[in-house]
Structure 1
């Protein structure tokens, strides 16, 4: 059995996922303002706008003079512009509404086994924290979804100033947890940002690979989670 004292968790697509694609949410918001924009067009526009903003202002513009809220408002407005919406006053209103709505449990759902697995980890005496490339809304999202109570700390890339796979975000998690790397494990769904990055600082790690996702040749089967419910068995086996 692994002698673990701390588990750190990714959130998006590990514990929580969007209830519907971004394009559908944006299309519904447009419809509420009398605009008809196809979800597929908005999904493609969002990918383009998000990618451009991320390249220009990495990590929600930390240290570059833009708040994370303004960062997101710009992404949302640019998404609608790319999809053909031109009315500036409506753009600003839709962006504000969507920024607020994506902080709500209405837009997020737990992955299968998430709540039960977190509860069982707590019952086993494992301490837990979050390590996520997210902005400062994550605390509220976790609280709204009744997950915040499981974690001693929530470490976002916006707060710490570094994004996974930068080793410094994991080092900060270890400092906050007061443990050595070999006493901690990270759980996430991304090979480079979660699995490999945690291992590079000496932590254990597990890769969530849900049905339909391809495997990764460099990840031993004992480190792969087909569902979150498999976690404790793998820890006890390790």
Structure 2
């Protein structure tokens, strides 16, 4: 098997939030003189996000929404559920946070990510991103100085389908002009990043901490405990 393409998940694979969402939202509210418990904000965000993704999957694109409006609704409802009732305030907070999350203010590069990207690039692999994200991802990657490693960035918003749907993987393969048999994907989510790519015949690697608990059976060859293990593992599949 000669690998030619490696596609990457982003959140918790290459980038992670500098602080939990609740703390970041609380800090922005505090700048406006509002006192909101970060743990309440965190719980509210998780509840609202899950509900909104279920009701309006993939940023509500098929229901006529924009990802911008989708996120404003999620953030506004998070503050509302956490006790901030003034609609003008919640809308203002939502807009500010939406803009700030485009920057590296809230994101940091995971340890070993830059070295892994460079190492894979040195192997001559074509590389791309496949992520359940909105169009801001290109700016985020650029602001974190990761964008240059990729031939293209494919978000679920752009693709019109979200992982683990096979449509987003097929779109990436088409853009790369590489067959699934010569492609691999890496990410941290079993369903989206491990099983999803296999539906179209891609190889997949699951990024899983050494002490992580996996309910599913995954061959050891397909588990990466840290990104510094990736290049040696990839090399095995290039012989």
Q: Please classify the TM superposition score into its range, dividing by the shorter chain length.
A: over 0.9
- Give the deviation of 1:217 after TM superposition: 3.9
Aligned position for 2:36: 37
The alignment status of 1:93 with 2:92, answered yes or no, reads yes
User: What runs of 5+ residues in structure 2 fail to find an aligned partner?
Assistant: none
CA deviations over 1:30-84 (Å, ceiling 9, x no partner): 1011010010000011011111211221100112121110110010010001001
Structural mapping, 1:191-202, within 5 Å: 191-202=190-201
CA change 1:40–1:62 in 2 (3 A) is: same
CA change 1:112–1:216 in 2 (3 A) is: farther
Aligned position for 2:15: 16
User: What runs of 5+ residues in structure 1 fail to find an aligned partner?
Assistant: none
CA deviations over 1:176-235 (Å, ceiling 9, x no partner): 111111100000001111111111211111000024421354211111001011111112
CA change 1:217–1:79 in 2 (3 A) is: closer
Tell me if the contact between 1:33 and 1:90 (Cα under 8 Å) persists in the aligned partners: no
Moved more, 210-219 or 187-196: 210-219
- Give the deviation of 1:107 after TM superposition: 0.5
Tell me if the contact between 1:80 and 1:91 (Cα under 8 Å) persists in the aligned partners: yes
How many matched pairs? 237
- What SS does the aligned partner of 1:109 have? strand
Counterparts of 1:211 and 1:73 in 2: how far apart (Å)? 37
- Please report the TM-score for the alignment, with normalisation by the length of structure 1: 0.97
- What SS does the aligned partner of 2:105 have? helix
- What SS does the aligned partner of 1:121 have? helix
CA-based RMSD: 1.0
- Give the deviation of 1:25 after TM superposition: 0.5
Counterparts of 2:211 and 2:44 in 1: how far apart (Å)? 25
